[in-house]
Amino acid sequence: MRVLVIGANGKVGKHIVSKLKETGHEPVAMVRDTDQVPFFEEQGAATVLGNLENEIDQAFYNIDAVIFAAGSGPDTGADKTILIDQEGAIKAVEKAKQFGVQRFVMLSSMAADRPESAPTGIRHYLFAKHRADEHLKQAGLNYTIVRPGALTNDEGTGRVTLKEHVNNFGEISREDVAATIVRLLTVPGAEQKSYDLVSGDQAIEDIR
C-alpha cells in the first residue's frame, strides 16, 4: 500500500515511516523543506514537499492511504495549533476525499473526545484535535482515530492497551504508537473506530 505520511519529520512520523517500510508498505513522507529529504531517502522512502499552511494537492497523487501525524508542537500558541492540528488536518481529510483516497488514520490525543474536561492550558489543543477528529468521522472515509496518552522516547515494547476508552491517563512510547498505527492501517475491524492507546499487555501484532 502506498501511504502518505503527513508530519513524517516529527518524532512519531519518523517511526511511522520506518514501520511502514518494515511491513512492506510504500511510505511517502511529506516534508516541509528539502533539508529533510535525505533522512528518508537513506531509508529508501519516497518524499514529497508539502506545507499544511499552503497547497498540498501534489502530495495526494497515486496514494492509497493517509496517516496524519502532524502537530504544531507543545510550545506553540493557540493560533498555530488551530492552523496545523485543526485546519491542517481538515484540509488533509478533504484532499483525501478529492483524490479518492479511502483509508485515513488520524493521530489524535487522549481526551480529544472530551476536551472540555481538560486543564485550561491544553484545552485549546484538545479542542483543535477534537474538531479535526469529528470532521474525519463525518467525511465518508474509512477512518481510524488513535488517541495516545503521554508520549515518551522509550524503546517500544510491542505491547499496548488499545480500547475505545481508557480510564487512566497513561504513557506510551512513540515507537509503539507508530507500530500500532501501522498495524491498524490494514485491520478491517479498525475502520470507523476511535481508540485510546497506552502501554499495556496486548501484543501489537495480535491486534485484530
Catalytically active residues are 125
The CA distance from 151 to 127, in Å, is 19
Specify whether the CB–CB gap between 160 and 198 falls below 8 A.
yes
**Cα→Cα distances 99→32, 92, 94, 95, 141, Å:** 21, 11, 9, 6, 12
The CA distance from 7 to 208, in Å, is 26
Report DSSP state, residue 34. G
C-alpha cell at 139: 467525511
Q: How many CA within 13 A on the CB side of residue 92?
A: 34
Which H or E run contains 107? strand 103-107
| DSSP reduced 3-state for 61 | coil
